[in-house]
Structure 1
């Protein structure tokens, strides 16, 4: 942002878009891998006696955090 009003120039917008596009494959892979953690937590909760609904609520509320 080189303008005092804080607005981005068209070139700056294009640079942001280019960076986003370049990072997309890595973000997609990260989501695919992190989904395995969510599924593993869900399965572990079921295996230890939680119902599917309880396991789903725990995963929704806490994600992969312990």
Structure 2
């Protein structure tokens, strides 16, 4: 686990706008709407904590 110091949190806030501008410019604007939908579904599946095994089962 990571813990941000007050100074670190301020730096994070300062960087947010620049970071998000770059994400849009270099990543999400390069994808079609359906590709963003598929990416969202993929990320949701990965975030559910279930890890597929080579045999097709699921480890939790």
Do the two structures share a fold, i.e. TM-score over 0.5?
Answer: no
Greater percentage in helix: 1
Of Structure 1 and Structure 2, the greater strand share is in: 2
Greater Cα radius of gyration, structure 1 or 2? 1
User: TM-score, normalization: structure 2?
Assistant: 0.40
Using the size of structure 1 for normalisation, the TM-score is: 0.37
Q: Which gives a bigger RCO, structure 1 or 2 (Cα 8 Å, sep 6+)?
A: 1
